[in-house]
Structures are given as structure tokens and as C-alpha cells.
């Protein structure tokens, strides 16, 4: 029988060993690669199978020969006891990884997940106002309650603590906050930071606790009755500020504030009396052509000589503030909102005209809810909408102010 090796290597031999495998005895081997890299390996037999387990680097800065032998002896005892050192190491590595992941999840706060979600998605959001609202509502309402809590531990009680104080008084804000919390928690679950149902989910969960918004008293988007709009337009045209012209244009086109204030001259064809809002600025994400009534064209011809990129620029440059028209209404001691004039237009179209439902809805750029109807309707009913908007402009001037001219802009405040 071949002689068993025992302590065959020396520190000098380890240092000068050539590429290859060098046995020290008892299953300990020194591996030397062509690059000169050295490492220790322990070879053992268990259940009739030969296996190798690495012990670490050898040589300068690595495990010494003496320490390698000590490590080998400890492993030999485990093998004699029927323990597979490789399986043990793999199990310990798995447990260590699981512990590290658990620690990472425990330290992952709601705020951290929310900020990561905003950072990853805000580039796809259409406007700065939407981005700012996300950050502001979370900072004002959510973070003080659960911003620093581990996202894995957030439950229904935390969500209700945020929503219940504002659900009745600020239903629009509360509803948006609930949706944003739900989105953040869904993102956390997708990344493996939490498990189970989403405690901010509305259907089948929060809906069973809080009343639906339709049953709440809602003050947002309060509309002026369409019967009062012609008289209001007379007073509006007495104002000489840019905000007054912008608001009149909003009313005549039945558009949203953001669509008007973000408009540029590149979108307008005055000769054809058409304003085309690109899809990127539309709520539905679809290009919208708007026929301009003679009065709407007159307003644009009045502001065009200012030579600004925006249709309705601010006095100090740039576009008009989103609050300019709202503040104008407040100064005129009116409780209605700018957006509410769209409701006034819709009510007028339904009650005072014979235009088809789809013509009126398309004038407002509303999304078609019926998929079958949407599939068959390819055009934008532009000619019919032009007649509708011309009739609307006539109605708005129906008190005898139809011939009113636009006052010159002198930069005065509204």
C-alpha cells in the first residue's frame, strides 16, 4: 500500500510550489494555477463519493499552512460524524442570505419605497404639477404617519389613520392619497419588500370602511349654471388682464386650464381657425383638434402681437400661472371653478341643443367608455363640433355683447 502523506509540505514549499496539485496529507491539498495563484482545498470521502471544499487563498496574505491544517482537522471530524461540509456551507450561506434580505426588508421604509417609485416613474408623468402633487401629498399626509415605518409592517390601521381625518372634508385629496399609497405598496410587493393583500385597496377593503366619494359633499369643480354664463362673460370682458382673456378662451373652447396655459403658437392655425393640442398634453393621451369660434380667434389675434411663445404669457415672461384664472374668479367674488365651466358647457349642450351625445363628449375630449362604440368611430366629428362651438360662442354672447371688442392689454392686474 502506498505510504500515507502527513505534513508533507513546508511553508517554503508552499511559497515555491509549481502549478499543479500538491498533497500535504489527510486530504489537504495546495492548488497552484498557471497564474501563480494559490489556494487550499480539502478532499474528503462521504457516502462513497469524493468531494472538494475550498478553504481559502494560500501564500502571502492568505491562510498559512498551519491554519490550513487546523481547518482540515475540523472538517475531518465533521465528515467522521456524517456531516457533509459542502452542504453545511451552502445551508449557512442560504441562511445568511435570507437573514440579510430580512434585515434589508425590515429596514425598507415606506418613504424609501415611495421615493424610489417616484424617481423611476416621474419622467413618464405628463406635467410638473402631477409630479409635485405626488411629493407634496405624501410629505404632508403620509410620511408623518408611516414614512419611517418598515413597508412590510404597514396595515389597514395605518392607512385609515391617514384617510379618516380628511375623508369627509377633503374627499378629492383623500381619494388621491389612498390611490398613491396603494400604488406604493403594490410596488413594494413587486420588489419583494412585503407580502399579502394591499391594505389601501379600495374595492372589497377600504370601501367597506369609508363611504364612497359619490356620497360625500364635494366642493371641487363647482360649476356656474349655464344660464348665468352670458352675463358673466360681459363682466369678464370688462377686465383688461391676461387672465381674463385666458379664462374667456377656456370657456369658449370648453378645454382644461392646463391645455390652454401650455398652448403655444405652433399648435394654432389662425387661418383655418384650428387649435391642435398634441397627445402629450391631453389627459386621454390622444391628439385633440379644437375648432375656434370667431370670438376665440379674435382673442388670439389680440395676444399674438406680444410675440411670446405661449398664447397667454405672464407679465414677467413664461406662461400664465395655473392660479391666475382661479384668483380672478375669487376677485370677482364667484365660488365656481375654472374647470366647472366645462360642466356648464355640457349642461347647455344637453339641455339647449340637439347635438348628439358623442359630438358633445368629443368636444370635451372625453374618453369613449364603450369599447364597441370607440372601435367604430374613427373620425373626430370635426365639422359638427365646429358648428357646436360656434353656437356655444353665440350663446355666451347672447345678452347683446356679441360685438364686444377685446380691450388692449396694458399689463394691469386682473
Provide the residue count of the chain. Answer: 414
> Looking at the domain assignment, is residue 3 inside a domain?
no
Candidate from 91-95, 143-147, 288-292 with smallest mean pLDDT: 91-95
Report the CATH number at residue 342. Answer: 1.10.443.10
Percent of the chain with pLDDT over 90: 42
- Do 234 and 365 sit in the same domain of this protein? yes
For residue 221, what pLDDT band results from cuts at 50, 70 and 90? low
Candidate from 193-207, 236-250, 367-381, 396-410 with smallest mean pLDDT: 396-410
- Do 259 and 364 sit in the same domain of this protein? yes
- Do 296 and 276 sit in the same domain of this protein? yes
Strands 20-25 and 274-277: unpaired
Q: Which of 161, 186, 215 is the last residue of a domain?
A: 215
**What is the domain count for the chain?**
3
Residue 160: strand, helix, or coil: helix
310, 264 Cβ separation under 8 angstroms: yes
Report the CATH number at residue 21. Answer: 3.30.160.390
> Looking at the domain assignment, is residue 2 inside a domain?
no
- Do 230 and 171 sit in the same domain of this protein? no
Q: Span 127-154, mean pLDDT? A: 88
Tell me how far apart the alpha carbons of residues 151 and 104 are, in angstroms, rounded to a whole number: 11
Tell me how far apart the alpha carbons of residues 390 and 291 are, in angstroms, rounded to a whole number: 9
Tell me how far apart the alpha carbons of residues 176 and 193 are, in angstroms, rounded to a whole number: 23
- Do 56 and 133 sit in the same domain of this protein? no
Per-residue buried b or exposed e for 300-328, using 16+ beta carbons within 10 Å of the residue's own CB: beebeeeebebbbbeeeeebbeeebbbeb
Neighbouring residues of 357: CB distance < 8 A, sequence distance ≥ 6: none
- Do 353 and 287 sit in the same domain of this protein? yes
- Do 269 and 355 sit in the same domain of this protein? yes
Q: Which of 215, 246, 273 is the last residue of a domain?
A: 215
- Do 94 and 123 sit in the same domain of this protein? no
Sort 226 into a burial class: Cβ within 10 Å, 0-12 / 13-18 / 19+.
Answer: buried
Angle ∠(133,136,141) on CA atoms, nearest 5: 115
- Do 239 and 345 sit in the same domain of this protein? yes
Tell me how far apart the alpha carbons of residues 252 and 395 are, in angstroms, rounded to a whole number: 10
For residue 402, what pLDDT band results from cuts at 50, 70 and 90? very low
pTM value? 0.50
> Looking at the domain assignment, is residue 413 inside a domain?
no
> Looking at the domain assignment, is residue 221 inside a domain?
no
> Looking at the domain assignment, is residue 80 inside a domain?
yes
Angle ∠(185,190,196) on CA atoms, nearest 5: 60
List the beta bridge partners of residue 305. none
Q: What is the mean pLDDT of the chain?
A: 84
Among 143, 370, 388, 129, which Cα is nearest to 256's? 129
Q: For residue 100, what pLDDT is reported?
A: 66
Q: Span 345-366, mean pLDDT? A: 89
Pull the grid cell for residue 217. 359633499
- Do 249 and 377 sit in the same domain of this protein? yes
For residue 149, what pLDDT band results from cuts at 50, 70 and 90? very high
Tell me how far apart the alpha carbons of residues 216 and 14 are, in angstroms, rounded to a whole number: 82
The pLDDT of residue 126 is above 70: no
Q: For residue 103, what pLDDT is reported?
A: 58
159, 118 Cβ separation under 8 angstroms: no
The pLDDT of residue 237 is above 60: yes
State phi, psi for 29 to the nearest 5 degrees: -135, 145
State phi, psi for 351 to the nearest 5 degrees: -95, -20
The pLDDT of residue 78 is above 50: yes
Q: Span 361-371, mean pLDDT? A: 74
DSSP conformational letter for 323: T
Sheet of 288-291: strands edge to edge?
268-269, 274-277, 288-291
Among 61, 80, 65, 53, which Cα is nearest to 9's? 65
- Do 16 and 42 sit in the same domain of this protein? yes
Tell me how far apart the alpha carbons of residues 283 and 291 are, in angstroms, rounded to a whole number: 18
Tell me how far apart the alpha carbons of residues 41 and 66 are, in angstroms, rounded to a whole number: 14
Q: Span 162-180, mean pLDDT? A: 90
Other Cβ atoms closer than 10 A to 293: 21
pLDDT tens figures, 41-73:
999 988 888 888 989 899 888 899 999 999 999
Q: For residue 400, what pLDDT is reported?
A: 38
> Looking at the domain assignment, is residue 188 inside a domain?
yes
Range of the domain at 384: 226-396
> Looking at the domain assignment, is residue 401 inside a domain?
no
- Do 371 and 335 sit in the same domain of this protein? yes
Residue 296: strand, helix, or coil: helix
Q: For residue 372, what pLDDT is reported?
A: 46
The pLDDT of residue 95 is above 70: yes
Tell me how far apart the alpha carbons of residues 251 and 340 are, in angstroms, rounded to a whole number: 10
The pLDDT of residue 274 is above 50: yes
For residue 379, what pLDDT band results from cuts at 50, 70 and 90? low
Q: Which of 48, 83, 104 is the last residue of a domain?
A: 104
> Looking at the domain assignment, is residue 186 inside a domain?
yes
Q: For residue 268, what pLDDT is reported?
A: 93
Pull the grid cell for residue 131. 409630479
Report the CATH number at residue 175. Answer: 1.10.150.130
Residue tagged 487563498 (cell numbers): 57
- DSSP letter for each residue of 166-215: HHTT-HHHHHHHHHHHHHHHHHHHHTTS--S--TT-TTTTGGGTS--GGG
Amino acid at each position: 500500500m502506498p505510504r500515507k502523506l502527513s505534513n508533507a509540505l513546508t511553508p517554503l514549499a508552499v511559497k515555491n510550489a509549481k502549478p499543479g496539485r500538491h498533497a500535504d496529507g489527510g486530504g489537504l491539498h495546495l492548488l497552484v494555477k498557471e497564474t501563480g495563484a494559490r489556494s487550499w482545498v480539502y478532499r474528503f470521502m462521504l457516502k462513497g463519493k469524493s468531494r472538494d471544499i475550498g478553504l481559502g487563498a494560500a501564500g502571502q496574505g492568505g491562510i498559512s499552512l498551519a491554519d490550513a491544517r487546523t481547518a482540515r482537522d475540523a472538517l475531518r471530524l465533521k465528515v467522521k460524524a456524517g456531516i457533509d461540509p459542502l452542504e453545511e456551507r451552502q445551508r449557512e450561506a442560504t441562511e445568511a442570505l435570507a437573514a440579510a434580505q430580512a434585515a434589508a426588508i425590515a429596514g425598507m421604509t415606506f418613504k424609501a419605497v415611495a421615493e424610489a417609485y417616484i424617481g423611476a416613474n416621474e419622467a413618464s408623468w405628463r406635467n410638473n404639477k402631477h409630479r409635485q402633487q405626488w411629493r407634496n401629498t405624501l410629505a404632508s399626509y403620509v410620511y408623518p404617519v408611516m414614512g419611517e415605518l418598515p413597508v412590510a409592517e404597514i396595515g389597514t390601521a395605518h392607512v385609515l389613520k391617514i384617510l379618516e381625518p380628511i375623508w369627509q372634508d377633503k374627499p378629492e385629496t383623500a381619494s388621491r392619497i389612498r390611490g398613491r399609497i396603494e400604488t406604493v405598496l403594490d410596488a413594494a410587493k413587486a420588489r419583494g419588500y412585503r407580502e399579502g393583500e394591499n391594505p389601501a385597496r379600495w374595492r372589497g377593503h377600504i370601501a367597506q370602511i369609508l363611504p364612497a366619494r359619490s356620497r360625500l359633499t364635494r366642493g371641487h369643480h363647482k360649476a356656474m349654471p349655464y344660464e348665468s354664463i352670458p352675463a358673466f362673460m360681459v363682466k369678464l370682458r370688462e377686465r383688461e388682464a391676461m387672465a381674463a382673456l385666458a379664462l374667456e378662451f377656456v370657456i369658449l373652447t370648453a378645454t382644461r386650464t392646463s391645455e390652454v396655459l401650455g398652448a403655444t403658437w405652433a399648435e394654432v392655425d389662425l387661418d383655418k381657425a384650428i387649435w391642435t393640442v398634441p397627445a402629450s398634453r391631453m389627459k386621454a393621451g390622444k391628439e385633440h383638434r379644437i375648432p375656434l369660434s370667431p370670438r376665440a380667434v379674435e382673442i388670439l389675434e389680440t395676444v399674438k402681437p406680444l410675440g411670446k411663445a405661449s398664447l397667454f404669457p405672464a407679465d414677467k415672461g413664461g406662461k400664465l400661472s395655473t392660479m391666475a384664472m382661479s384668483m380672478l374668479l375669487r376677485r370677482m367674488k364667484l365660488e365656481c371653478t375654472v374647470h366647472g365651466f366645462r360642466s356648464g358647457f355640457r349642461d347647455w349642450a344637453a339641455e339647449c341643443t340637439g347635438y348628439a351625445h358623442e359630438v358633445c363628449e368629443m368636444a370635451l375630449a372625453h374618453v369613449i367608455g364603450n369599447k364597441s362604440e370607440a372601435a367604430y368611430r374613427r373620425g373626430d366629428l370635426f365639422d359638427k363640433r365646429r358648428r357646436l362651438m360656434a353656437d356655444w360662442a353665440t350663446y355666451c354672447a347672447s345678452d347683446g355683447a356679441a360685438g364686444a371688442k377685446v380691450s388692449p392689454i396694458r399689463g394691469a392686474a386682473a
